[in-house]
Amino acid sequence: MQIFRCETKSIIFFLVSLSVLLVGISVSGAAVPNLPGATAAVADKTVEIEARYLYYDKQANLYHAQGEVVIRQEGMELKADKAILNQALNEFEAWGDVLLRDQTDYLACRYLKFNYRDQIGSIKDGRIFIKEKNYYITGENIEKLGPNEYDVENATLTTCDAERAAWLIRCKKVHVKEGGYGVVDNAVFAVKNVPVLYLPKGVFPVNTKRQTGFLLPGIGYSDKDGVVVKNAFFWAINRSHDLTLYPEIYSERGVKFGAEYRYVINEQAKGDIRAAFISDKLVEDSPEDYPYADKERWAFGGHHFQTLNSGTILKADVNLVSDNEYLEDFPDTFSGAFIDELGNSDYKTDTYLRSLAVATHSWERYNVTAEGRYYQSLLRENDDETLQLLPEITLAALNQPVAGADWFFWRLRGVYSNFWRKDGERGHRFDLNPVMTMPFKLGAFEVIPFLELRETYYQTSNSDGRSDGSESRETMAAGVEIKSVAERVYACDWFGMDRLLHTLEPTVGYRYVPDVDQSDLPSFDDIDYLAEESNVTWALVSRLVGRYPQAGQADQFDYHEWLKFQVGQAYSFIDVADGQRFLEDDQHASNFFSQLELRSRGGGLYMKLENRFDPYDNANELMTAFLSTTDRRGDFLSLEYRYEQEIAEIFTGVGRFPLWSWLDVYGSIRYSFTDSHIWETIYGFNYHAQCWSIDFSVDEERDPYDLSFRFLLSFNGLGGLGSN
């Protein structure tokens, strides 16, 4: 064996993309290895050539290698029976069992020729493997026509490892130009070598970045909508803007037109706008089912986030629909999710659709926020009586010392609110709330006396704009909070933990609010009535925190909170209900609250228990228990029990279990103990072979009864075809 080392300013190699999209079966981009030519980035690099016979023709500037040829350079290796490197023509040729490989991908062929100056070349009987998506591509003739342009004859594509692929795509000819479009001639999708779909010609985007083109379509069926066909066309306007059009066909409703525009102004500003419209035949044909809807139905939504150079942050979240039945009929309006596997993420339980616009600016000790909130009722015929907040401006002064003292602090919150509605009382409210504190240490305790002053002023009017006059309220609150922390550290050697910290954090507080006449005040929200208070609140928090030394890093540790337990209660010295803690005038003790959280390191196990106990009825007002667990095998189980006195008692279970490496089963159930009724069950399976999968599930809702099926066939690396 001879070994020869040479310096060259040019070297062949690597891999380039070839995408194949079959529009009826939802085939997404695939790739073919690239043969890059000489670039400045690889200039003056050492190339190592090994062969049984090696000859250098100095006059012709040729390297001849034959017999077990191996050429290596920067992690890439080429093997061949014979190879010639022509530096005069900047050309390379290899014959025999040619294998070009890097750390993950490879190209095998019978013959390879490449001009690394002009970036042109050819491959005969090539087979290419791209590990990133497990693509196998073959081509009888692969011609590289330029830096990013290719012709492939008699090509195949699959992601199956088996010699007899479960599926593959055969193309008579593929022409690809990166940055533009590719054209497929006579493409056939085959299962076990049996043709199932034919496409005489297809056009597809080949840019590895955002590219204009059609997206994966969706097909479904329901009793109400009929056959549903959803498609999307993506328009990459430029690097900072794009537009997606969503034409959707409902056989029982008509055609719904949708669009989503996304933009990025700069690194500090981005957002999106979405809109949809349908002339709904079902509303026209069944007006009794849509008492609050017109035939012309629409939705509009948008998000915007921006940080100005001054530090001001702008946020907007707008969600509007034409009627209160729209989101029940089209639940993916603002989410874009066509199929939701185990959840029912819709707006059936919401009473309002919310829109919000916020501008906020912070200084070292101050913060100002202006926001507007608009609520659209999903229950009423219209929003004439719905109270809107347009706008609300908040000025906050953070905790800071008075005259530089380290024992006397003040903070302030001032809020202006404009409450508006078409019908009903509306008005302006000014609420000023300064707070003064004097914290000090008393042994192991931190004592924080406080004094709050509150001035609230109202200017109200009626629906026709006439003033109803003004009202005001002056009140105060005073009290003290005492808290401490007791802790102990235990040395241990459990599961990589060397220390365990246990804390006890007791807190006791007293708060006094005098009785103030508020009978003439309007009622816009919770702060318009402040209950009289004279109560003591106590709480105890306990934690277990583990310390984990970092391997190979002295004095470097990781910490994990394994357990958190807290209990608490309030006791009132007066016979006044506040609507929250003390529900009746003669009840002095609030509900007893307790909560326990347990979380394993790494998130494999999580448990939360919560309880609110009514000491007067000697009964639980609220009990919740939640447990979720996962393991490395992929098993997942989530169990939740929730009891609310005189409201509901519900059990929910969700699970997914891999029975074998190729089969998962999953399901969920929602059961009501109150009426001994199963609300919903979902059960299904997912069969996933190496390069394809089938997902089938049944969803049965009981109130009202509705039975639906879902079937989804997916091909790894290509997309899927499904029905619901």
Structure confidence by residue, pLDDT tens digits, 46-70: 678 888 998 888 888 888 889 999 8
Q: How far is CA 691 from CA 160, 167, 168, 369, 537, in A?
A: 5, 8, 10, 53, 61
Whole-model pTM? Answer: 0.71
Does 40 score more than 70 pLDDT?
A: no
User: CATH class for domain 591-724?
Assistant: mainly beta
Does 406 score more than 90 pLDDT?
A: no
| Rg over CA atoms, the chain | 35
Structure confidence by residue, pLDDT tens digits, 631-648: 988 999 999 999 999 888
pLDDT of res. 4: 38
Distance CA 20, CA 200 (A): 14
Q: Can you say whether residue 389 is alpha, beta or left, with left for phi > 0 and alpha for psi between -120 and 50 degrees?
A: beta
pLDDT of res. 464: 77
Give the confidence band of 115 by pLDDT, cuts at 50, 70, 90. Answer: confident
Kindly state the DSSP code that residue 286 receives in the 8-state scheme: -
Q: Is 525:579 a contact under the CB 8 Å cutoff?
A: no
Count CB-CB contacts under 10 A for residue 50: 18
Give the confidence band of 498 by pLDDT, cuts at 50, 70, 90. Answer: very high
Give the confidence band of 218 by pLDDT, cuts at 50, 70, 90. Answer: low
User: Which of 369, 420, 377 minimizes the C-alpha distance to 395?
Assistant: 369
CA geometry: angle 195, 201, 206, nearest 5 deg: 105
Mean pLDDT of 686-705: 84
SS3 at position 104: coil
pLDDT of res. 178: 58
Tokens read off for 358: 């916020």
- Side chain identity at residue 584, one-letter code: E
Q: Of the ranges 39-43, 218-222, 343-347, 683-687, which is most confident?
A: 683-687
CB within 8 Å of 176: residues ≥ 6 apart: 17, 18, 19, 149, 150, 151, 152, 182, 206
Of 181-190, 359-368, 533-542, the one with minimum mean pLDDT is 181-190
Q: Of the ranges 321-330, 335-344, 651-660, which is most confident?
A: 651-660
Distance CA 323, CA 330 (A): 12
N-to-C CA span, the chain? 64
Distance CA 699, CA 694 (A): 17
Distance CA 324, CA 326 (A): 6
Beta strands 194-205 and 218-222 are unpaired
CA geometry: angle 28, 32, 33, nearest 5 deg: 145
| More reliable by pLDDT, 180 or 528 | 528
User: Which of 267, 269, 361 minimizes the C-alpha distance to 316?
Assistant: 269
Going from N- to C-terminal start, the domains of the chain cover 2-191, 212-338, 350-482, 591-724
| More reliable by pLDDT, 501 or 711 | 501
Report cis status (omega within 30 of 0) of the bond before 247: no
Does 696 score more than 90 pLDDT?
A: no
Structure confidence by residue, pLDDT tens digits, 228-243: 887 888 888 888 999 9
Does 25 score more than 60 pLDDT?
A: no
Give the confidence band of 148 by pLDDT, cuts at 50, 70, 90. Answer: low
CB within 8 Å of 340: residues ≥ 6 apart: none
pLDDT of res. 180: 55
CATH number of the domain at 2-191, out of 3.30.70.890, 3.40.47.10, 2.60.120.10, 2.60.450.10? Answer: 2.60.450.10
pLDDT of res. 271: 94
pLDDT of res. 90: 82
